[in-house]
């Protein structure tokens, strides 16, 4: 119940090559390589986008508070009502 030796793997490889043919096997490997390149390119683009976003956040954080854009303010609070003069009846 031992593992396969080098000769076993060579025979398996030869049988696979005979079944799929030389051209078909190389086409499959080319497709795998294209997929890996596409995956790496996508990962690089994602990392660049994340780095750009992080850099923008750092620039925003380094800006003085006075230079930061002010978000639109909500409706101002209603003016406080002026107190009415109290009468002697209100105090009791």
Q: What is the pTM of this model?
A: 0.38
Give yes or no for residue 28 having a pLDDT over 50. Answer: yes
Residues in CB range of 23: below 8 A, 6 or more apart: none
Contact 3, 12 (CB under 8 A): no
Write down the domain spans for the chain.
22-65
pLDDT value at residue 15 = 87
Quick: pLDDT tens for 31-87.
999 999 999 999 888 888 888 888 888 777 776 766 666 667 666 555 555 666 666
In whole angstroms, give the CA distance from residue 42 to residue 48.
10
């Amino acid at each position: 119940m031992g593992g396969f030796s080098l000769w076993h793997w060579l025979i398996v490889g030869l049988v696979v090559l005979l079944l799929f043919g030389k051209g078909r096997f190389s086409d499959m490997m080319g497709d795998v390589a294209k997929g890996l390149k596409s995956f790496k390119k996508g990962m690089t683009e994602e990392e660049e986008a994340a780095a750009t976003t992080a850099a923008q956040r750092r620039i925003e954080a380094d800006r003085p508070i006075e230079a930061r854009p002010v978000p639109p303010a909500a409706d101002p609070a209603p003016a406080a009502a002026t107190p009415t003069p109290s009468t002697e009846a209100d105090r009791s």
